[in-house]
Amino acid sequence: MPIAWPPLSSLIIIPAVGALGCCAPFFSKKMDPNGKLSRLWSIGIAILTLVVLAALARGATIAPGSVLALEEARSWIPSLGISYHLELDGLSFAFCLLTAIISLAVIAWSAKPQSAGAGWYSLLLLGEALVMGAFLATDLVLFYVFFEAMLLPVLGAMALWGGPKRLNAALKFLVYTMAGSALMFLSILYLGWLGNSSAPGVVDAFSFEITNLASKRLLNNSQEMILGIAFLLAFAIKTPIVPFHGWLPDTYREAPHGVAAFTAALLGKVGIYAILRFMWPLFPTFMVEAGPYIAALGAVSVVFGALVAMAQRDIRSLLAYSSISHLGFCVLGLASLSSMAMTGSIFLAFSHGIITAALFLTFGMIIDRQGVRDFDSLGGLAKVVPVSAFFLMVFSVAAVALPLTSSFVGEFLILMGSWKAFPQWTSLALIGVVLGAVYTLTAYLKTMFGGMRASTPALGRDIRGCDAMILTALAAIVVALGVFPGRLLDTISSAVPMQAAGSEVADNNLGQGFVR
């Protein structure tokens, strides 16, 4: 694997330095009272990160037929075999790209909590750095560090600028995720210990490197099952999958809109990413054997999330549960032993990140401007805020996975791919396709259509300027990926077969007929 230049660390370091820079004196309240300077600085940093990522990927794939695979390895704590090992392959790239785009969008979004100054941007940039790290790390301990640390900026921003019940929500979020990841950490330690004990007396044999651990095939089936369940729990909570989603509604309701967008778009995706990146290579037997159960969890999440979303009155709760529903598709695809469905899962995760962030930001702005957050007191806003209405229509349509939007590509590949392995769970998930249309259109109907409510204050400021540009860009991404998904699909799928190699399943033999 070629060593990258600039080093992959720059993807982490640039936003981290940017975050530190926000603490510089000339961004203080006195020198920069409206936070304009710090906003410009942060936008610059976020753009730089995006450019570096694009340059890295472009540089690595410029030669025809080359596959994106860059790495950077340094020793970190050699006595324990913990290394600082980053890798950028197609899988990581998709998520890093998502991180860079969403961070830029959230940072540049003009609406932020009222009292927030440079600290807001600092936390967001820090979040970007840490999420980026989680998507790049291939050493389990390093991954774990990022996996935990990325909670901090989110929790910080929530506690500082969230809604009335923010502390409760933040605590819940923290405890839920910690509960899962504590088990995962134990499992990581056990894995390292197993690797070491195979060569007694040699301390250097400690290794938490994923390829290293996977190639050693340390585990017997029951060990795989126990460790696999521990890992799965951590990622199921993070994603989240029903019934491990207890933290989600409160978090999305109480967090500031930008943070909710950031969390929904990125943090959950770490779970999806990690299932493919770590669980398939480490526990291939477990993943195949538990596949039906994981797929069932995914399908149940799809339907249950949709059903609960239908019952919501609060816009942001609806978005929260719709996230569960959409990510259920991803989980279904990941479990389905088909590289087509797996690629689709990653693609859908990418697409969902963009769409859900856009919906959170736009609805967030409407909630702030109108001062109410449930549909029943909104209505007829299409007349008042036509631009918002247009963008919401685009993203709602994308959320229900209409063809030529990016979600369709993901959902279609998942449904096609997983039908072969799990027709029953795929059929169940198909109910979610219908219900998805119901709650999405109902949300749109109740807010945008109909007559104006007497209770609607109608402050009447529509989206404009920078925000309109952001939404246009996100919409363009959604449509462009819907019409020309080929490049991204190729990039993702170049990494997927390697991840799923353990299962030795490829759907090239499609002409063989329907095999259960």
Our CB check for another protein shows the closer of 19 and 382 to be 382
Contacting range for another protein; rule: CB under 8 A; set: 112-120, 130-138, 255-263, 488-496: 488-496
| Contact with another protein (CB under 8 A) among 136, 242, 297, 355 | 242
Contacting range for another protein; rule: CB under 8 A; set: 74-82, 266-274, 286-294, 432-440: 432-440
Nearest of 479, 328, 500 to residue 414 by alpha carbon: 328
Rounded Cα gap, residues 456 and 452, in angstroms: 7
Cβ pair 295, 425 in contact under 8 A: yes
Asked if 511 interacts with another protein (CB under 8 A), we say yes
Asked if 182 interacts with another protein (CB under 8 A), we say no
Rounded Cα gap, residues 149 and 160, in angstroms: 17
Asked if 397 interacts with another protein (CB under 8 A), we say yes
Asked if 310 interacts with another protein (CB under 8 A), we say yes
Smallest gap from Cβ 428 to another protein, in A, equals: 11
State phi, psi for 338 to the nearest 5 degrees: -130, 125
Contacting range for another protein; rule: CB under 8 A; set: 66-74, 134-142, 355-363, 477-485: 477-485
Smallest gap from Cβ 211 to another protein, in A, equals: 22
Asked if 451 interacts with another protein (CB under 8 A), we say yes
Query: 37: how many CB neighbours lie within 10 A of its CB?
Result: 18
Our CB check for another protein shows the closer of 107 and 400 to be 400
Rounded Cα gap, residues 325 and 429, in angstroms: 9
Smallest gap from Cβ 370 to another protein, in A, equals: 17
Rounded Cα gap, residues 233 and 295, in angstroms: 14
Rounded Cα gap, residues 326 and 450, in angstroms: 27
DSSP 25: G
**For residue 499, what are the CA distances in angstroms to 147, 314, 339, 362?**
20, 39, 10, 36
Contacting range for another protein; rule: CB under 8 A; set: 29-37, 91-99, 115-123, 310-318: 310-318
| Contact with another protein (CB under 8 A) among 81, 268, 485, 502 | 485
The pair of three-digit structure tokens given for residue 471, joined into one six-digit string: 């939404």
| Contact with another protein (CB under 8 A) among 33, 44, 78, 486 | 486
In the range 136-175, which residues lie near another protein by CB under 8 A? 172, 175
Asked if 293 interacts with another protein (CB under 8 A), we say no
Cis peptide bond N-terminal to 243, omega within 30? yes
Query: 168: how many CB neighbours lie within 10 A of its CB?
Result: 12
Asked if 430 interacts with another protein (CB under 8 A), we say yes
Query: 332: how many CB neighbours lie within 10 A of its CB?
Result: 33
With CB under 8 A as the rule, give the number of residues binding another protein.
66
- φ/ψ bin of 87: left (φ > 0), alpha (ψ from -120 to 50), beta (otherwise): beta
Which of helix, strand or coil describes residue 86?
A: strand
The C-alpha angle with vertex 273 and arms to 271 and 279, in degrees rounded to 5, equals: 85
| Contact with another protein (CB under 8 A) among 181, 407, 493, 503 | 493
Our CB check for another protein shows the closer of 167 and 483 to be 483
Q: Parallel, antiparallel, or unpaired for β 69-77 and 82-89?
A: antiparallel
Asked if 235 interacts with another protein (CB under 8 A), we say no
Q: Which residues bind another protein (CB under 8 A)?
A: 172, 175-176, 242-243, 245-247, 249, 304, 307-308, 310-312, 339-340, 343, 379-380, 382-383, 397, 400, 402-404, 408-409, 412-413, 415-416, 419-420, 423, 426-427, 430-431, 433-434, 437-438, 441-442, 445, 448-451, 483-486, 489-490, 493, 497, 506-508, 510-511, 513-514
